[in-house]
Structures are given as C-alpha cells and as structure tokens.
Chains A and B, each alone.
Chain A
C-alpha cells in the first residue's frame, strides 16, 4: 500500500477551481519534488493535505495508508504522521516554543494511545534535536517564532519535523526567503531526516533547493494538474527551459 495517494483531486476556493484532477502517489522512503510556476496550485495541494480550512474538495480523494485523509481533523492527520512545514510559519506571542512543542507532542501521543512524555524526558529530547540543527537553547524559551529570522523560522519547522517523527513531510516552499547559508543548514536538517520509512514532498518554485535535497521524482504542476513527471533530471531541464512550455501543455 502506498503511504500517500492523491487521486484525481479537485479543489475549489471561493467558487474558483484551483486543482482540476491532480494525482500523486508517494511510497515510503521516496522524495518527491513538486515544481511549478506561481499560481499552479502547489501550495493549495499542501494546504489540502494538511487540512487547512477554506478549501472545498469537490472531487477525488486523498488516502493516507489507505485511509481517507479528508475525513480527519488537521490534528488527527498530524497524529497519524502527516507533517506540513509551512511556507510562512506563524508567530504565536505568549506561547513559548518549548511549551507549544511539549503540548503538541503529547497531544499526538495521546491521539495514538501512547503515554505522555514527561517534562524532563521532553527537555532532553528537544535539546538533542535543537543541538543537531544548530538551534540555540534560548530560542525554545521565546514565543513560537516571535522575533525569529526567516532562517530561524524554517529551522524551527525542521526541529518540529525531527521531534514529531512524521511518516510524510510536506515542505512548502522551504527555500523562500532564505539566503544560501540558511538554505544549506535547513536542507542538511531535512536530509538528516530522510529514511527508508519516511517520505518527503518538496514543493518549490526553483530548482536551487533540489541541489541540496535531491529528489527521486520530480513532478511539474501547471494550472492545477501534474503535467509532467520524471526523475531528478527533469528539474535540471526546467532550469534550462523554464515553465513556459508546460503552461502551454496545460
């Protein structure tokens, strides 16, 4: 059984259809890149997989380990192992990163019928992960993402990914707003999390990110559909020729 199966997905936002029958199959251990011009529906796909309100699914389905993902609340999806790294992580003043991560991890464990993790055990775990990602300890004491730089916010997303150990990670435009050094650090963090059990879907506008996170498959989206799929060489091809050819194809 595939880990994540998107079948003929049709999605509307406020009367306008954004996805017109999108299909994608992701197996454990695979890294898929989804590329496409602005407005092709890449972020909509990531939002619908995570369960963001405001999107109306008018056709098709999304199966996660064979179960209907669209029937689950966003928090249930997270507990089942779906993780979305946000393009624009929000700032939550007054809620410390530490407190938030502890509450979220315990909520996920509770939903899976596992025991809650104690404060000392959590502290140990989160410190280890933070160290491996070069995240200063004092960031954990601050409000979630409050006053963080773009690079820090993205690293905080990867910290959460490492902590929650999801089965599938959707990385939405992880490279946006990052300089080359910040990008390298973030990509190293992601690569460290690649494993035979875990799948990744890397959404990006630019080929650049894929120099650091090398995908197994590349899909090109245009106007709400996947118009071409191939291996990692497809990304290089796009770098050469641009998206224009596909916009015509769609």
Chain B
C-alpha cells in the first residue's frame, strides 16, 4: 500500500506512466527495469521541502501540473528547431540534436565518425533490446526520485562510445530543443562511455525554438570515464523563461581520469541540475564549476554530490550565482570522503551576488569526512555589488548597467576561468554575454 501523500501532480505522473508505459521503447527486462524505476519514484513521490535535499526546490509547490508526453516532432517543429540550432551553432563541433525528446537524425551530424567513436540513438538501442545500454543508461541512482522518474520514462537520447585510446579532436555537442507549440514534457537519457586513455570534449545545450513555451524537460546523462581518460564538459541551460528543466548527470571516474565540467544556467523558469560525481579510481581529479545568471522569477538549483570513494583523488568546485529581481538561486554542494579515501584533496567555494533586495541565494556546502588524512575545505559568501567600485567606474564614464556588467563578468569569470579548454571557455563566455546583453 502506498502511504505517501500525493499531490495532484504526483498522481498525474503515475497516470502518465500507466498511459505511456506500453509505448516506451524496450521490452522484457528493459520494461521491468522501467517499472522498478517508477516504483522507486512512487515510494517518495514528487520531492518536497521536507526532504532535506529538496528543501529549497519544492517540486510539489513549483510543479503545478504534469504535461503530456511530447508528440514526435513534425516537419514544422523540426524546421523551427533547425532555425534555433543554426542560430546557436558552435563552430567545428559534431552536433547531435534532440527535438522534443526525440533524436533528430537529419539535424545531427552522426555519419562519417572518427575511428573509435560510435553514436546511436537510445531509442534504437532499447528497441533492439540492448540490455547493457539499458542497465547503464536507465538504472542510475534510482534512490533519487526525479532521476528514477527520468529512468522510467526516458524515450530517447544518445549513446556515445569512445574506444580505448581514442582522443576525439572534434568536440561533441548535444542540443536539446523544445519545439512543440503545445506545452509538453520530454524525458531523455544519454550515455557516454569513454574507454581507457580516451579524451572527449562535450557541450550540452538546452534551447527553445520560436514559439515553444511552458514545456518540461527531464534529462539525464550517465558518464563512465575510463582509466587515464579525460572529459571536458560544458552545459548551458538557456531554456525559455517559463520552462522546467529537471536534469541530472551521473559521472564515474576510473584511475587517473580527469573530469572538468562547467554548467551555466541562465534560462528556464524552474531548473534543477543534480550532478553526482564518483571518484572510483585512484588518482582521479575533478573540477566541477558553474554559474547561475538569473532574474525575473527564475528558480535555478544546482545540487552537487561529490563522492570520494578511493584514495589520492582531488576535487575542486567553484560556483557563482548572480541573482536579480525576485529570482532564487540554490547551490547545494555535498562532498563525501569515504573511510578508505585517504589523501583526498577536496575544496569547494561558492559565492552569490544579489542584484536586488528581493533576490535570494541559498548556498549549502556540506562536508562529510570519514577518512583522517585528508585536505578538505569549503566556503560560501553572499553579497551585493561593491558601491565604491561602481562609483569609480561611473566616474570614468561607464553607465551604471555597463559598470555592473563588467563587475558581473569579473565575478562569474572566476568560475569561467576554470574551464580548461579554450574553445569551451569561449562558448561559456558567449552564453554569459547573451545574458548580460539581454539585461542591459
């Protein structure tokens, strides 16, 4: 018997699963796995503020309705998607496009792949009964209700494999485009598997085509980085301002692997990004950094879980939030150092800049250390722009908004500088500039 009190939205999600489950790709064991994931979701239901991890992002209050699953994009939707994808194109990348939650082969550059690279739509892999893909892609962290829900419902995504010893020269760019004119929800999952001694640069972006409005995006990315491999990752949330984006990334690192990731959220009405990184191999290093640039009534939550499971690993987190109007930024960063993880070096610094009296920023760093020979630290600050700096700049001729923009750039620059790849840094700077220009 299910004793969890349910909201209308929670109930509607149960109904939605019941309606669509027979149409979701994958049969037999894959369908069982979906059912188990949905049951895991149902045990807690839609997360709310009395659950510690969701204290600042109460989906029962924020998510008033469940939208029907998006229909397959028609020609008009694809053509609107093509327009926004081209407008936001990044030079020199291999682009993989999902429109309304469905892989769009004609908008994607997935032929003539480099040696050692393989790309497949998740739907095809599931329909073909690929249980390994299903297990790895869909079954991650079902203890988290929204990740479990995503695993139960995922209809498509991309499965990317990079063979041992393959270092891709061309970055990959996964573009999520909402293009339907009727409000709908999408559930996608992608899987990136890097072998040993491999290297990949990945950009993910979330965009809205002209006319797409109050949609809900539920996405998940599962990454396995093999020994001695490296992933450079930038994620840009530039959804329309009335959209929902509830996403996760679950990343594990092998020995001496390196993960450099940067997330920028400037779009969406409500967004939550749950990033779980596990140092599973000794000597691995992680840099997870990010920026929220929000205004109006936006709510943006980045929740990070850094798991040091083995010795001799290092992690760094630099997070910056710029919050204007009545927006609400949330950063939760939890670092756990397991009993065996001696010689761990973990540091986290989060700072928020409030541009208005009604803006809110919640920073919650948490350290849980079970090993005794470690170097760990964290810090959090919240403040306003320095008036004396603003006056100095205005006295030199800069109008107030321009002076603020330079100071905001400098503030978020501290996080953007941590991006190791020059080309990815440029991509992040361009996204921050778009926000500042829209504000000016």
Contacts and interface: CB of A to CB of B under 8 A. Distances in A.
Interface of A: 50-53, 73-75, 77-79, 84, 86, 89-90, 92-95, 99-101, 103-105, 107-108, 111, 143, 160, 164
B399 A73 contact: yes
B410 interface: yes
Nearest to A54: B387
Interface of B: 386-389, 391-400, 402-403, 406-407, 409-411, 413-414
The majority secondary structure among interface residues of chain A is helix
Contacts of A95: 406-407, 409-410
A78 B389 contact: no
18 contacts: A73-B394, A74-B394, A75-B394, A75-B400, A75-B403, A78-B396, A79-B397, A89-B392, A90-B388, A90-B392, A92-B392, A93-B410, A95-B407, A100-B393, A101-B396, A103-B406, A104-B393, A107-B402
B397 A164 contact: yes
Contacts of A103: 398, 402, 406
A95 B394 CA distance: 14
A105 B397 contact: yes
A100 B396 contact: yes
Contacts of A104: 393, 396-398
A99 B405 CA distance: 12
Nearest to A100: B406
A94 B411 contact: yes
Nearest to B417: A94
A147 to B, nearest CB: 15
Contact of B391 (A74, A79, A94): A74
Nearest to A85: B395
A74 B216 CA distance: 45
A94 B402 CA distance: 15
Contact of A94 (B393, B397, B409): B409
A90 B389 contact: yes
Contacts of B406: 92, 95, 99-100, 103
A107 B387 CA distance: 19
B397 A107 contact: yes
Contacts of B403: 75
A108 B413 contact: no
B393 A92 contact: yes
A104 B399 CA distance: 9
Contacts of A92: 389, 392-393, 406-407, 410
A68 to B, nearest CB: 18
Given A94-B411, A100-B406, A107-B402, A53 B391 contact: yes
Contacts of A86: 392, 395
A94 B413 contact: yes
Nearest to B413: A94
Contacts of A84: 395
Nearest to B414: A94
A77 B392 CA distance: 13
Contacts of B407: 92, 95
A74 B402 CA distance: 13
Nearest to B388: A90
A95 B385 CA distance: 14
A92 B410 CA distance: 9
Contacts of B402: 103, 107
Given A94-B409, A100-B406, A78 B392 contact: no
A11 B271 CA distance: 49
Contacts of B396: 75, 78, 100-101, 104, 160, 164
Given A94-B411, A95-B409, A108 B394 contact: no
B402 to A, nearest CB: 6
